[in-house]
Structure formats: C-alpha cells, structure tokens
Amino acid sequence: MKKDLNYYMSLDYGIEITPIPKDEGGGFVASIPQLGKYAFIGGGKTRIEALKDLEETKKEYFKEYIKKKIDIPEPEEPKREFRGAILIRIPTFLHESIYAGAKENNVSLNQYINNLLTKSMTLDSLEKKIEEMPTKISKTTEANDIMLEQYVMPNADEFSAGLFNLEKRRLNFKVTALPAEAYKWK
C-alpha cells in the first residue's frame, strides 16, 4: 500500500481529550500523545469541534512531513491488560481427563491446568532453543576451525617428528524432534 496522505490520515492513533477549565475559557483540547502531545492538538467548545480541529492539524502536519520526507510513526499497538483469568472451551473428554489428573495429584483443577500450561510453555521454549543449536554449533565449529588453522597448523611443522598428528575434525549434530509420547505427562 502506498503511504501517502490518505494512508496516514486513515491510521487509528490514540487520542486524548482534555476539558479546559471554565475560568480558562472552557472547551476541550484533543491531542495525539504518540505524535507529540503539544504538537498535534486541536481545540473547540465541544469534544466534536476539538476532534475536527485535531484532524485538520494532523492533515497539515502530515502534508508537511511527507513533503519534507520526515518519517511518520504508525500507531502503537495498545498495551493489553491481563487479569490472570481466561475462559476456554474444551471437549468434555479433555475436561474429564484434566479433572482426573488434578484429583490424582491432589491439587485443584486450576492448579493442575496452571502446571500443565507451565510445562507446555517450558517445553516449547526448550524446543526453540534446541532448533537454534545446530546453527550456533556450526558457527562455533567454523570459528574453532579458523583458530586451529591460524594458531595450531602453522606450528605443526615444529612438532611433525611423528610425535603429533594434527587433524581437523568437524562436529556434526543432528537434532530430531521427540516422539509424541514424550510430551505426555503421567
């Protein structure tokens, strides 16, 4: 998509609307904090007037920014608030199985599900690290080979009286996924 004036005007930036005290004239000020709380502002007697004025201000600034090739930040994703509670729907056989596991382990259903989720997240994290290992090992091996060539091999002639036989060796690792049975908890 072409990032022109219409593109930037269509983006959904967070807006703050602040009332102006009556002893200071009254009305409202609308601003876009992400773009500059005191730069991108609009004012009016009503909230709607302040928003309309803000849109005009935004349009003028965006035109100028585009003309001068100044980067215009796109809206930030709003921060999510987590309560620590989720509602999920699961098949009845799974619910029954989880209930049995909780009972068997003498913990609440909530504690048991929390434990299962924690184990699963840990496993997932470890799998990702294992997947990255061959690349890291390969880079380390290549670096070791270079060091071997630079520091050991040039001196090998000095020790070549049959006492030392230096040979470069590569480490070959093959990482395979665990079978599905390994992921089952007892």
Question: What number of CA atoms fall less than 13 Å from residue 169's CA on the CB side?
Answer: 6
Statement: residue 11 has pLDDT above 50: yes
Token pair recorded at residue 61: 């600034």
Q: What is the pTM of this model?
A: 0.44
Token pair recorded at residue 139: 């880079």
Burial class for 42, CB neighbours closer than 10 Å (0-12, 13-18, 19+): buried
Burial class for 32, CB neighbours closer than 10 Å (0-12, 13-18, 19+): buried
Distance CA 21, CA 128 (A): 56
**30 phi/psi in degrees, rounded to 5:** -110, 135
In angstroms and rounded to an integer, the radius of gyration of the C-alpha atoms of the chain is: 32
155: left (phi over 0), alpha (psi -120 to 50) or beta: alpha
Statement: residue 168 has pLDDT above 50: no
| pLDDT single digits (tens) 100-136 | 999 999 999 999 998 999 998 898 888 888 887 776 6
Distance CA 166, CA 159 (A): 10
Distance CA 95, CA 116 (A): 13
| pLDDT single digits (tens) 27-75 | 999 999 999 888 899 999 999 999 999 999 999 999 999 999 998 888 8
Q: What pLDDT is recorded for position 37?
A: 80
Distance CA 10, CA 66 (A): 15
Burial class for 137, CB neighbours closer than 10 Å (0-12, 13-18, 19+): middle
Chain centroid to CA 84: how far?
19
